[in-house]
Amino acid sequence: METTPRTLGPAEARVVLSFREQGRDVVEADDIISLLASEKTGRKVIRNLVRKGWLTRLVGGRYMFLPPERGAENIGENNPLAVASAVVDESYVGWWSAASFHGFTTQKPATVFVAVRKQTAPLTIEGAEIRFVSVEARKFFGFKTYNVYGRSTRISDPEKTLVDCIDRPDLAGGPSELTRIVHAAMAEIDQEKLMIAALQMNSKALLQRLGFLSDLVERPLKDEPRQQLRAAIPKKTRSTFGARARREGDIGYVAEWELHVHARKDELLSEVPRIRKKDRTNADDRANP
């Protein structure tokens, strides 16, 4: 790939050195205009810095700063999680994208999913597709700042990542991919923190799915959190997981969690290697007594 040198004129150098000294990741157009005390000069410098690879345009006068440490060549910003996190101040990377970051799946989603408080149109920045998902205030919690290749990036923590994925399977790759995520996450997360996050979401369907899926992947909740979960689900509260309509061969109604599962067991476990292998071995044993 052909690149161009990141040269600097006097005014451009003043801006770059100022933001480098401040340790800034994200800058606003007004910051540059104020620093140079001239809107005309500031706008020209912004255009030049974008063209030369010192700034990556995010949205509406907001830019990601690419400091001198990025090298002398204009190669752009290649950190999609950091870019996505920087577009909106009140936001965090979540769902499938966060699950991938935490190692709960080997999949690398083509779209970066970002939780926001106010609806924001999707964007494509430096080749990264970013989808912003508006969430209610009660669900906007459980994230912290991680260092992602030298960039400060807001991402949901492991427990909230699992809870978010169970809450919105459509943002986690669908039921089979979600089952894989649950299998991996339940081996690593703190179950006490998991229950705090799950209960705070105030969703009975989420709690039912959590109980069912953790049992399905053979990594069930311990006695105390399991009792907490059951106590938080009112009797005769029924919900659905999987397809809209039940099909022949689907798991069907799971009485323990009062959950209608519109998916086959082999489908849900198709992305879970350990259990998939064991089920195949059991099937072979039955075929060859």
- R_g over Cα of the chain: 24
- The pLDDT score that the predictor gives to residue 217 is 96
- The pLDDT score that the predictor gives to residue 76 is 60
Beta strands in 117-216 (DSSP E): 123-125, 128-134, 143-148, 151-156
CA dihedral of residues 35, 37, 40, 44 (deg, nearest 10): -20
Quote the CA–CA distance of 147 and 154 in Å, as a whole number: 9
> Does residue 85 contact residue 64 with C-beta atoms inside 8 Å?
no
Distances (CA, A) of 270 to 76, 175, 277: 38, 10, 9
Tell me the pLDDT of the chain (289 aa) as tens digits. 455 678 899 999 999 999 999 988 899 999 999 999 999 999 999 999 999 989 999 998 999 999 888 766 655 667 899 999 999 999 999 999 999 999 999 999 999 999 999 999 999 998 899 999 999 999 999 999 999 988 899 999 999 999 999 999 999 999 999 999 999 999 999 999 999 999 999 999 999 999 999 999 999 999 999 999 999 999 888 899 999 899 999 999 999 999 999 999 999 999 897 765 554 444 444 334 4
Residues 6+ apart with CB under 8 A from 120: 87, 88, 132, 134
Supply angle C-alpha 124, 128, 132, rounded to 5: 65
Q: What tokens appear for 52 in the block? A: 């030369």
CA dihedral of residues 151, 115, 193, 82 (deg, nearest 10): -10
Sheet of 151-156, strand order: 123-125, 128-134, 111-116, 91-93, 151-156, 143-148
Can you tell me which residue has the tokens 């410098």? Answer: 45
Instruction: State whether residue 162 is helix, strand or coil.
Output: helix
> Does residue 204 contact residue 172 with C-beta atoms inside 8 Å?
no
Residues 6+ apart with CB under 8 A from 191: 221, 222, 225
Quote the CA–CA distance of 12 and 282 in Å, as a whole number: 68
3-state secondary structure labels for all residues of 102-121: CCCCCCCCCEEEEEECCCCC
> Does residue 12 contact residue 49 with C-beta atoms inside 8 Å?
yes
What is the set of domains in the chain, with CATH numbers? 10-70 (3.90.56.20), 80-274 (3.30.460)
Can you tell me which residue has the tokens 């209960």? Answer: 199
Strand partners, 148: 151
How many helices (H) and strands (E) the chain has is answered by 12, 12
Whole-prediction pTM value?
0.87
